[in-house]
Amino acid sequence: MNFWPHQNTKELTAFYGDPDTNDDGLPDTAWESKNIIRIIPPYPMFLAWNGRPLKTISIHRKSAESLMRCLLNIADIPEANRRHYGLDQFGGAYNFRPMRGVSQLSTHAYGCAIDLAPVQNPLYKAWQERSDMMPKEVVDIFAAEGWAWGGDWDGDHDLKDQRRHDCMHFQAARL
């Protein structure tokens, strides 16, 4: 059973709270301090954009335990394989911003999304079996926790931003 909310403003806000309570386009600091927590990744990771070591991941408190279970399962993958697939590359988690191309807030703005291995899984590139892209094993780890995977997005729904593949992206929200 998937208890995560659907990816629409009404359900995301009802479940995670409103990250922009006064609609000024800026994150609500009271909401952030109440809901966004930092977790320490269970295996060495680095920031994909500058190569610096990742110390913590900012995520919503409601999805933090689930994300940690996913990362602990990924930590069980041999280090050489994690590196090969770029699972040590962090592409982002909590980030107050709208989805690309629409005014609706991204799931990143609610703190319920993470991007992993962005170099091997660039935006718009469809997932290919037997490639260096996101391993099915990792997709299954997140699926066991009810997280949606951007590699499954194929344009069969009404959110403009998700009419493209995003194989680096996992979210604790259903389509």
Number of CB atoms found within 10 A of residue 160's CB: 13
What is 9-171's CATH topology?
A: Muramoyl-pentapeptide Carboxypeptidase; domain 2 (3.30.1380)
Specify the pLDDT at position 157. Answer: 46
The predicted-structure confidence for 111-129, as pLDDT tens digits, reads as follows 999 999 999 999 888 898 8
The predicted-structure confidence for 3-13, as pLDDT tens digits, reads as follows 899 999 999 99
Percent of the chain surpassing pLDDT 90: 81
Confidence of residue 103 (pLDDT cuts 50, 70, 90): confident
**Domains of the chain: which residue ranges?**
9-171
The predicted-structure confidence for 68-78, as pLDDT tens digits, reads as follows 999 999 999 99
| Cα 160–chain centre separation | 18
In Å, the largest CA–CA distance within the chain is: 47
Specify the pLDDT at position 163. Answer: 52
Q: What is the pTM of this model?
A: 0.93
Query: Is the Cβ–Cβ distance between 115 and 62 less than 8 Å?
Result: no
